[in-house]
């Protein structure tokens, strides 16, 4: 382990991580057991490159995000692209957000791509992930890299890869992930990243690229008459969303929001939130404080790289008078809007709605009502974006694809514009989001959902629970008998194999269990369909209590 650490130290170009690693090595040489454990944690394995790219804690070592690991990833991706391109010179576009080291990782990547003989283009400044996804298609690039850890904790960063051409700017899936990983492994095994060729002959994308994204997103939902006087609050969650979002809001004709000033500028330290994820408790507290002060009708939030959307509405029965909508509620309302518009435009039966298998089955009811096709996919927009004929897709983790002709990925900015349009249209007839949710239930069914999650320090706990559920399926959950079990490890309904268990209950409820792909969590997704909104709420509450009991018994 010491030899591995010394070899890593010798090639590390980053002064901070070099100092960090040198101290650990010296302490370990002196017999410090704690330092030895820390060194083992950093070098016993390496961050795996998969369909989510790379994501992890910043720091020295192969099991951390750092300049050595990023250089290996960039060189491996370049080798993969050259292998696929033949005589063609591949183009790669690189974007970055406001997290620690994002810009450094982006420039390292661009220099290595250029040094490998590729055409490398860097976005003109820190920008949202959806702009990078747009740029891959708009520039005709073979691939794109976005340096971001999205909504992960402040000390994380990541490396997300997109493919152009036939993949139309979607995130990578198998077998590309394994093929890229194999090239990265060969680079890592070769040793010193200092010998990798570099060049500063990369390009900077023109500002017109961002202007084109803005124009395409404005077209998603120009402000209707009901937008006049709309009183709303926006927070960027210390991320990169506001500069782009503000331009679109103005160009689309919506009133400017009240912004959460303390969170509106990019800040990789995320000083006002413990966890920069709008789904987490407390993350929207400052937005709610401002909303109460200005008597807002609506709160809209993006996560730090602006690929997700959160929405909250006034609710006198909720603590503090404000209630966050679930990802499924937002997804179903936006899906209803998309299906209605597709129908009005004369969409054919090939046009489809799509959502991940852990998202609300209510979207299928919408698709059937409007005569559209429907597709269930594995979790992640790398799958949703590839649904045939897609006009709209979503997943319950606050991800929405509302403009597939522009961005083949979740896009929290275009989704925000679509939501503003939905709210404005409802205002025009004296209704609000609460009334829209009631109308949806009356028209398509009263669907409700919840999620129970278990965060762990040791991933072996998750493996043990999944193994126990496979070895002995529960006979009942929350007192309701289990009548069907689908183990997606073997592939079900044409879906690729995945570490997911799906339980169907005799009352029509559904329980899905899967490990998180980005966090040390086991997630349990719950869905019910009730006879009324109150009935659905009662059912989901009982099912959530039953799921917690099941996890406690297996832990």
Residues 255 and 148 grouped into a single domain: no
DSSP conformation class of 240: S
387-411 average pLDDT score:
96
Residues 408 and 484 in one domain: no
Half-sphere exposure of 348 (CA within 13 A, CB side): 3
Find out whether 231 and 300 touch, Cβ atoms under 8 Å: no
Token code pair at residue 250: 């103005």
- Which pLDDT tens digit goes with each residue over 461-472? 999 999 999 999
275 plus 191 within the same structural domain:
no
Question: CB–CB of 232/299 below 8 Å?
Answer: yes
What pLDDT does 459 receive?
87
Closest Cα partner for 255 from 244, 243, 246?
A: 246
Respond yes or no: is residue 356 known to be catalytic: no
- Specify the pLDDT at position 214: 98
Q: What is the average pLDDT across 397-403?
A: 96
Question: Which position among 62, 102, 109, 150 bears the catalytic label?
Answer: 150
pLDDT in tens, 108-155: 999 999 999 999 999 999 999 999 999 999 999 999 999 999 999 999
Domain endpoint, select from 162, 187, 205: 205
- Rounded to an integer, what distance in angstroms lies between the CA atom of residue 498 and that of residue 378? 8
Residue 109 sits at φ, ψ, to 5 deg, of -65, -45
Is the same domain home to 538 and 494?
Answer: yes
Residues 130, 16 within the same domain: no
Query: CA 547, CA 531: separation in Å to the nearest integer?
Result: 22
Give how many domains the chain has, as a whole number. Answer: 4
Query: In CATH, what number is assigned to the domain containing residue 515?
Result: 3.30.310.50
How far is it, in rounded angstroms, from Cα 437 to Cα 489? 35
284 with 423, same domain: the answer is yes
Q: How far apart are CA 376 and CA 394, in angstroms?
A: 10
Find the mean pLDDT for residues 435-463.
93
Name the pLDDT band for 457 (thresholds 50, 70, 90): confident
In 3D, which of 333, 367, 336, 331 has the Cα closest to residue 352? 367
Range of the domain at 391: 211-444
Please state, in angstroms and rounded to a whole number, the distance separating the CA atoms of residues 65 and 87.
33
Instruction: Determine what percent of the chain is predicted with pLDDT higher than 90.
Output: 91
Banded model confidence at residue 491, pLDDT cuts 50, 70, 90: confident
Same domain, 95 and 220: no
Asked whether 2 and 39 are in contact (CB, 8 A), the reply is: yes
SS3 of 297, please? coil
Residues 281 and 425 both lie in one domain: yes
HEC string of 65-110 equals ECHHHHHHHHHHHHHHHHHHHCCCCCEEEEEECCCCCHHHHHHHHH
pLDDT digits 0-9 by tens, 66-92: 999 999 999 999 999 999 998 899 999
Distances (CA, A) of 461 to 38, 44, 67, 225, 531: 21, 19, 31, 54, 38
- CATH code of the domain in which 98 resides: 3.40.120.10
Cβ–Cβ under 8 Å, residues 370 and 343: yes
What's the mean pLDDT in 352-369? 96
DSSP run (H or E) holding 258? strand 258-259
Statement to judge: residues 60 and 171 lie in one domain: yes
Q: Of 428, 444, 460, which one is at a domain's C-terminal end?
A: 444
Are 236 and 225 contacting, i.e. CB atoms less than 8 angstroms apart? no
The whole-angstrom distance between residue 331's C-alpha and the CA centroid of its chain comes to 14
350 vs 392, higher pLDDT: 392
Which of 205, 229, 259 represents a domain boundary (last residue)?
Answer: 205
d(CA 79, CA 184): 9
- 305 and 218 in a common domain: yes
- 387 and 437 in a single domain? The answer is yes
Confidence class for position 348, pLDDT limits 50, 70, 90: confident
d(CA 101, CA 105): 6
Q: List pLDDT tens digits, range 36-66.
A: 999 999 999 999 998 779 999 999 999 999 9
Q: Rounded mean pLDDT of 345-360? A: 91
Name residue 92's beta-bridge partners.
Answer: 120, 143
340 and 427 in one domain?
yes
User: What is the SS3 assignment for 470?
Assistant: helix
Return the ∠ at Cα 106 (arms to 79 and 135), rounded to 5°: 85
Q: Do 173 and 386 form a contact (C-beta atoms < 8 A)?
A: yes
Cα(59)–Cα(87) distance, integer angstroms: 38
């Amino acid at each position: 382990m010491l030899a591995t650490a010394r070899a890593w130290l010798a090639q590390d170009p980053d002064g901070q991580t070099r100092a960090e690693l040198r101290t650990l090595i010296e302490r370990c040489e002196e017999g410090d057991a704690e330092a030895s454990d820390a060194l083992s944690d950093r070098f016993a394995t390496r961050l795996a490159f998969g369909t989510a790219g790379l994501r992890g804690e910043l720091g020295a070592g192969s099991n951390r995000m750092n300049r050595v690991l990023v250089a290996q990833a960039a060189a491996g991706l370049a080798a993969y692209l050259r292998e696929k391109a033949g005589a063609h010179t591949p183009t790669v576009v690189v974007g970055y957000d406001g997290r620690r080291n994002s810009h450094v990782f982006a420039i390292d990547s661009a220099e290595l791509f250029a040094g490998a003989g590729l055409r490398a283009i860097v976005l003109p400044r820190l920008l949202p992930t959806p702009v990078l996804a747009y740029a891959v298609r708009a520039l005709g690039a073979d691939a794109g890299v976005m340096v971001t850890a999205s909504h992960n904790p402040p000390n994380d960063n990541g490396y997300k890869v997109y493919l152009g051409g036939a993949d139309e700017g979607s995130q990578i899936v198998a077998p590309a992930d394994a093929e890229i990983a194999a090239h990265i492994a060969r680079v890592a095994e070769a040793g010193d990243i200092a010998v990798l060729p570099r060049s500063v002959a990369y390009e900077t994308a023109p500002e017109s690229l961002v202007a084109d994204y803005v124009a395409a997103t404005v077209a998603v939902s120009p402000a209707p008459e009901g937008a006049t006087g709309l009183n709303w609050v926006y927070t960027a969650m210390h991320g990169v969303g506001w500069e782009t979002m503000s331009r679109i809001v103005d160009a689309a004709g919506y009133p400017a929001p009240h912004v959460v000033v303390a969170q509106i500028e990019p800040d990789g330290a995320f000083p006002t939130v413990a966890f920069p994820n709008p789904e987490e408790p407390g993350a929207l507290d400052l937005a709610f404080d401002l909303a109460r002060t200005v008597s807002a009708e609506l709160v809209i939030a993006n996560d730090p790289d602006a690929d997700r959307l959160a929405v909250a509405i006034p609710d006198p029965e909720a603590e503090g008078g404000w209630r966050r909508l679930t990802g499924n509620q937002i997804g179903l309302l936006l899906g209803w809007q998309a299906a209605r518009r597709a129908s009005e435009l004369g969409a054919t039966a090939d046009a489809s709605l799509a959502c991940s298998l852990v998202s609300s089955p209510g979207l299928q009811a919408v698709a059937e009502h409007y005569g559209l096709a429907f597709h269930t996919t594995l979790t992640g927009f790398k799958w949703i974006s590839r649904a045939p004929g897609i006009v709209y897709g979503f997943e319950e983790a606050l991800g929405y694809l509302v403009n597939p002709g522009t961005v083949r990925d979740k896009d929290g900015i275009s989704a925000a514009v679509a939501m503003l349009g939905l709210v404005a249209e409802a205002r025009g007839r004296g209704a609000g989001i609460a009334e829209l949710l009631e109308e949806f239930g009356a028209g398509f069914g009263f669907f409700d959902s919840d999620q129970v999650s278990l965060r762990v320090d040791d991933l072996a706990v998750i493996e043990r629970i999944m193994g126990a559920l496979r070895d002995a399926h529960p006979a009942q959950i929350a007192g309701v008998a289990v009548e069907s079990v689908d183990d997606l490890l073997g592939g079900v309904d044409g879906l690729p194999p995945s570490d997911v268990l799906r339980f169907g209950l005799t009352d029509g409820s559904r329980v899905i269990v899967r490990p998180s792909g980005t966090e040390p969590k086991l997630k349990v997704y719950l869905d019910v369909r009730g006879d009324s909104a109150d009935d659905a709420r009662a059912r989901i509450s009982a099912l959530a209590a039953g799921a917690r009991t099941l996890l406690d018994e297996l832990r």
